[in-house]
Structure 1
């Protein structure tokens, strides 16, 4: 059994999700202690319970310490299996964070996996659903992954109630090689609101388009959703820029009392900074693809504007649990990352 200090680095839930996913894939048990020690309150929150239960279901694991606010957990995996599964976070906990644990395991299940997942689709401190659909999944497709995601209903804080369906075909992944970005050809995006006035989405769209128009042609779709398409009130803006060799995204979730212009401006500025730095992956994708690169059959490389604390923590964990060589070097205004499995 591998022993993992859950307070290492940024000390958040990603360390827990990644550790359980790797345990399911490698078949080696892990014990985590001081889980989310740097968060308030510490320990397991509802979405973390769902993530661990979901991965455990895929590999018929025995789990000890799986209870709300538990600071310690032991995960004893069985054999990964496919089939149909349904999981409900039970709150507005993020479905995209649960998928961070589920997707790597599902890709290694050997047979197709179909998952219905209920919870929050667009919540703070988590990737919005459209970022997953239009940035992360296309990047994984470049590595050979085949994941089909269908949005049935959006859900927001505090009620949740969103619903997505995911079908994953098991695949051996290739390395992700993104040496240089090249000039931006087009910037696209989605600005959506649910059960809120249309002008909020319009203001997000217009602000982002104005701030990015000097880089490349901008096309941002507005989506105005009603009660049949979403539970509760909420919204988000997701932007992505395509070059000859790269896909770079950014996002921001709407917040009560925060102007639409500020929300859109924050997302647009993050995208601009990644583009100007010469990055081939944005700040968040460079964190989220690491586990897939580590599990691929070939080397990967990319440039990031900077490596987040999440990324440094994930790299520490990956090298602790897998045979892996990682080299980071300065590259003008960015950081070049080489990942060599095995």
Structure 2
């Protein structure tokens, strides 16, 4: 009998779909999801959601029904994992490649037969858009964090950028299967800011765009970090070759590395008519908000690590900077994890206003 998931709970977006299907595939639990993206306009599956479901079904030898554009209900019955393997997913549109990675990465970490051969994942679609992590955030914030704290080894290469609305990007990710269970971690002290780094990228636009983005970001950071003037700031300007992009576009991702092992990101995506220096300023302000919040992770990293905390062995703990409680995305990720696994989450509100998330993970391995 399948487990029924209400896709309109809490945040009610595509994250419920991605996390539910990934956990169901790993645990061998048939699920049905209804009211998918019920509050969105229009509701139901979009092309990128359907592509992600098809990808997960391929990796997990699953029977998938109802996965058509506009559908508000699907059924997913997993089989054995086909890992390690070589997989390709193409959203055709500018649908986010990083959201495709979110549904696939947990599956590629595990294999029934011990192997050091990495899986290769080729993702085609959008690489830099506003409604999903930019690929540079995934490469420089998310992946380094999960490697350090969970022991995950994954290498990401941007073969071609895909800006909205044309898409056409290509990202290749190599994921090494775990030799043991995901390790737990404790990250409760942020320490000082060690350095700030960043990438300002642009394609098929005038040459001054990149340096202007860097200038705007540096100006805001220098003012906002006046009391920490000795912090090194290194932001690269990166012009993409015309043949490496389908359409014109720009964006910037910044990240602050903390002594305690945390990392805070900030980003902005360019659009027609936006001054390049203002784009840099916007990303810097985003980064400063994350730093001023006082946590060891930013709000976007916070919700992405929940599924790995649930799968890890032992108790994990992380200090989050949300004075008003956890983000809706994070609460949703926790709800899904507790619905489908035996992981136990506990949140603690500190006198400082910060929140600590603790999780007793299930110590998952494929053979179990």
**Range with greater deviation from structure 2 (37-46 or 258-267):** 258-267
Residue 100 of structure 1 corresponds to 102
Task: In structure 1, list runs of 5 or more residues that go unmatched.
Answer: none
Higher strand share: 1
Q: Is the 8 A contact 1:277 1:333 kept in 2?
A: no
In 2: Cα distance, 1:176 partner to 1:119 partner: 33
Q: Is the 8 A contact 1:119 1:163 kept in 2?
A: yes
Query: How does 1:97-246 map onto structure 2 within 5 Å?
Result: 97-110=99-112, 111=115, 112-142=118-148, 143-171=150-178, 172-213=181-222, 214=225, 215=228, 216-245=231-260, 246=262
Query: How does 1:1-342 map onto structure 2 within 5 Å?
Result: 1-82=2-83, 83-110=85-112, 111=115, 112-142=118-148, 143-171=150-178, 172-213=181-222, 214=225, 215=228, 216-245=231-260, 246-306=262-322, 307-331=326-350, 332-342=352-362
Task: In structure 2, list runs of 5 or more residues that go unmatched.
Answer: 363-368
In 2: Cα distance, 1:43 partner to 1:129 partner: 25
Give the secondary structure class of the aligned counterpart of 2:64. Answer: strand
Deviation of the 1:302 alpha carbon:
1.1
Q: Is the 8 A contact 1:131 1:238 kept in 2?
A: yes
Alpha carbon RMSD of aligned pairs, Å?
A: 1.3
Q: Deviation per CA, 1:130-169, whole angstroms, max 9, x where unpaired?
A: 0000000001101111111111111111221111111111
Classify 1:42/1:194 alpha carbon distance in 2 versus 1 (closer, same or farther; 3 Å).
Answer: same
Q: Deviation per CA, 1:90-117, whole angstroms, max 9, x where unpaired?
A: 1100000111100011112345321111
Q: Deviation per CA, 1:258-316, whole angstroms, max 9, x where unpaired?
A: 33333322321222122223210011000111111111112111122222211111111
Deviation of the 1:198 alpha carbon:
2.4
Give the secondary structure class of the aligned counterpart of 1:155. Answer: coil
Number of aligned residues: 342
Give the secondary structure class of the aligned counterpart of 2:234. Answer: strand
Give the secondary structure class of the aligned counterpart of 1:198. Answer: coil
Give the secondary structure class of the aligned counterpart of 2:11. Answer: coil
Q: Is the 8 A contact 1:45 1:69 kept in 2?
A: yes
In 2: Cα distance, 1:63 partner to 1:31 partner: 10
TM-score between both structures, scaled by the size of structure 2: 0.90
In 1: Cα distance, 2:75 partner to 2:238 partner: 43
